[in-house]
Structures are given as C-alpha cells and as structure tokens.
C-alpha cells in the first residue's frame, strides 16, 4: 500500500498496517522528501522486525508528469459538450479562448486534427479541431458531466492512441535515485515504454551501486506503447535484476479505452505467467473503503479478482488499516478457489447433499 506522509511520524501506523496484513509498502517520490522517506523506511523496517516478517520497500520514480501547468481565461468556467478551448505553449496563442498551458511542448507534434485528448483521467474529453500554430491546438469538448468540467492546473493530460516518444527517466528522477538506490528494495518505474528506458534506468542504478546488488525493478505499464514493448522490456530488465510488472490501470484505461482495460489485464497476466514474472494489480482498489470507510460491491469483486496477481496495491486513505485487513480477508477467502490464473475447483461449501 502507499504510505501517507504521517507514516513518518505516527508511532503505531506501520505496526498496525503490518499486523493487518501489509506485505510491502510503497513510497511515492513525487511527494515529501528524503527526510520523510527515511523515517517511513525506518518505521517499516522496525515494524517488520517486530512482526518477524520481511516487508519490502518499493519507491516510485515519478516519471514525466504530462500535466496542465497553468490556465488562462478559464477561472471558474465549466466547459460543456460542444464548447471550445485551447491547449497551448503560452496563453497568447489563442487570445479568444480558455487556454490550458501544457507541461510538455513536444505533445503538440502528436496532436493532428481529430486526435482525442483526455484531461483529469477522462473527466473532460475533447478532440482537436484546429491547429492554428505549432504550439497551439484548438479542441471541442466531446465528453463531460452535465454541469461541465473545469480546466485546472496540475490535472493530467492523455492522448489516447498516440505513441509519445518521451523518455521515462527525468532529471528529477535522477536526482532522487541516489536515495532510492541506497534504500529501496524495489524501484517502481513510471511511464516506462521502451527497452531504451529500461537500459537508461539500469545504467543509472549500476552507477550508484558499483559493488552491490541492484534493487529489483517494477515496470509500470501505463500506455499502449508499453504494452507492445512489454516482452522485450521484461527480457531487458530480467537479464540484470529481479523484475515485476504493475498493471497501472489508471493511465492505461485512459490510453487504451476503458472498454479494453479488462481484456488488456488478462493479456498482461497471461504474458507474465508465461514469463514467471510477478504482477501487481493496481489503481483504485477499494477506493470507496479507503476514502469513506465502506467498499462498494463492485470494488469488493474487483479486489477478489486481484487474486490472479501476486500483489494487490492499495492507495493511501483515511481507512488504510481497515482496507488492508478487508483485502487480506477477501484474498484469503479466494485462496481456495483461485491460484493466479488457475481455478482450484474446490468443494462448494454453501450447499450440502441431504
């Protein structure tokens, strides 16, 4: 599960999480800093030792954050279906429209007329209808709630179906790798898409661990290009370090289409089963329970389906300890029915012959 900031200072949080059934902790390097990370790791190690168990630490590299950096002429405005706005490199590129400034100018090379663009995990969906300049695209909203959606800074931007040739390892990632390489058991590699991305990370790890063992690498699969290159990336990483795969269903669903997500989960699970590579089932697992203290029926079934992977990831939330215990109970009950992709066909206990 993902550790919240307070895990660095709360004396009993890690003990409660480990007692509830947590087997691995995740630290997102996009938040907090080395002092907080070190405290989280120290408390994790202490809780694991007290419980007599090994609890590995996974640290996420943030990767390229394709986001809205700023907005102009959009304050308080809700965009509805059929309305127009612009994505641009600067606010003056479309003076008569609401404008969102993109974090990566190279995205404009992948925005021909007709290209779909999803913002904020698809809450605002649009299509490019005009290209008035190299650093500007005019879009029409094709999907939003009836009351409309706001353009806000820091919201993610996706171009479904486009192969974005953006290196996965950023300067910010390299800056935190000194700490990560020295402390993490697993390096979780966000937005990895190519063998070259994998080789770049491994080279950076070798430079920081010249005489010691490298941490394991987890490939977070978030784009169609990553899906296509997954077999080659597994070979490239697995030849040097232990490797795992995370089905990062948030961005992946936006990129390939929600209706294809279940199919793609199955294909990734089967590929990794054949390659004997462990899989992490991730994104929005038991989100309602984490946030509100009560899981929905669909969330409970989704959590049970995670039995087909080696690991199920929970995000942080107010009810994290309760969510870990609930997930442990659900997966424990599924143990007698399912082992990864294979059904046990065990005896049914709900009915008895007279």
130 and 246 assigned to the same domain: no
180 and 294 assigned to the same domain: yes
Distances (CA, A) of 5 to 28, 59, 101, 281: 10, 14, 30, 23
**CATH for 253:** 3.20.20.60
Res. 165: pLDDT tops 80: no
177 and 247 assigned to the same domain: yes
Average model confidence (pLDDT) across the chain: 93
**Cα–Cα dist 204/219, whole Å:** 16
178 and 284 assigned to the same domain: yes
Q: What pLDDT shows up at residue 40?
A: 97
What is the number of domains present in the chain? 2
Q: What pLDDT shows up at residue 338?
A: 82
Domain's final residue, options 133, 158, 183? 158
| φ and ψ at residue 127, rounded to 5 degrees | -140, 140
272 and 329 assigned to the same domain: yes
pLDDT digits (tens, 9 = 90+) for 33-85: 999 999 999 999 999 999 999 999 999 999 998 899 999 888 778 999 999 99
**Cα–Cα dist 33/61, whole Å:** 12
Nearest to 230 by CA among 194, 191, 265, 260: 194
The pTM is what? 0.90
72 and 59 assigned to the same domain: no
The residue among 66 and 232 whose pLDDT is bigger is 232
pLDDT digits (tens, 9 = 90+) for 89-112: 988 888 889 999 999 888 899 999
Name the residue range of residue 92's domain. 68-158
Domain's final residue, options 110, 139, 158? 158
pLDDT digits (tens, 9 = 90+) for 247-287: 999 889 988 988 999 999 999 999 999 999 999 999 999 99
Handedness of CA 120, 123, 124, 125 (dihedral sign): positive
56 and 74 assigned to the same domain: no
**Cα–Cα dist 323/330, whole Å:** 10
Res. 353: pLDDT tops 80: no
**Do residues 83 and 211 lie in contact, with contact meaning Cβ atoms separated by under 8 Å?**
no
91 and 149 assigned to the same domain: yes
Q: What is the CA angle 162-164-165, rounded to 5?
A: 145
Q: Which residues contact 90 (CB under 8 A, 6 or more apart)?
A: 101, 135
**Do residues 172 and 146 lie in contact, with contact meaning Cβ atoms separated by under 8 Å?**
no
325 and 185 assigned to the same domain: yes
């Amino acid at each position: 599960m993902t550790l919240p900031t307070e895990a660095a200072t709360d004396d009993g949080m890690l003990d409660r999480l480990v007692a509830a059934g947590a087997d691995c902790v995740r630290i997102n390097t996009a938040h907090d800093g080395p002092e907080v990370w070190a405290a989280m790791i120290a408390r994790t190690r202490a809780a694991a030792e007290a419980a007599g168990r090994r609890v590995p630490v996974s640290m996420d590299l943030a990767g390229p954050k394709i986001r809205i950096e700023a907005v102009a002429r959009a304050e308080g405005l809700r965009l509805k279906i059929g309305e127009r706005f612009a994505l641009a490199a600067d606010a003056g590129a479309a003076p008569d429209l609401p404008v969102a400034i993109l974090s990566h100018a190279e995205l404009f090379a992948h925005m021909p007329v007709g290209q779909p663009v999803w913002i904020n995990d698809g809450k605002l969906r649009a299509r490019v209808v005009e290209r008035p300049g190299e650093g500007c695209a005019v879009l029409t909203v094709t999907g939003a709630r009836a009351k409309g959606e706001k353009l806000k800074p820091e919201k993610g931007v996706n171009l479904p179906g486009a192969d974005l040739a953006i290196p996965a390892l950023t300067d910010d990632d390299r800056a935190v790798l000194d700490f990560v390489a020295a402390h993490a058991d697993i390096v979780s590699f966000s937005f990895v898409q190519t063998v070259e991305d994998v080789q770049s990370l491994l080279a950076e790890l070798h430079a920081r661990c010249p005489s010691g063992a490298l941490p394991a690498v987890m490939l977070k699969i978030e784009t169609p290009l990553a899906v296509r290159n997954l077999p080659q990336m597994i070979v490239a990483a697995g030849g040097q370090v232990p490797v795992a795969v995370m089905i990062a269903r948030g961005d992946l669903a936006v990129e390939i289409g929600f209706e294809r997500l279940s199919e793609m989960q199955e294909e990734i699970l089967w590929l990794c089963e054949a390659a004997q590579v462990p899989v992490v089932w991730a994104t929005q697992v038991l989100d309602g329970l984490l946030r509100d203290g009560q899981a929905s029926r669909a969330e409970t079934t989704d959590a049970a389906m995670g039995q087909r992977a080696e690991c199920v990831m929970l995000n942080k939330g107010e009810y994290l300890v309760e969510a870990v215990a609930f997930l442990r109970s659900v997966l424990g009950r599924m143990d007698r029915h399912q082992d990864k992709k294979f059904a046990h066909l065990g005896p049914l206990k709900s009915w008895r012959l007279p």
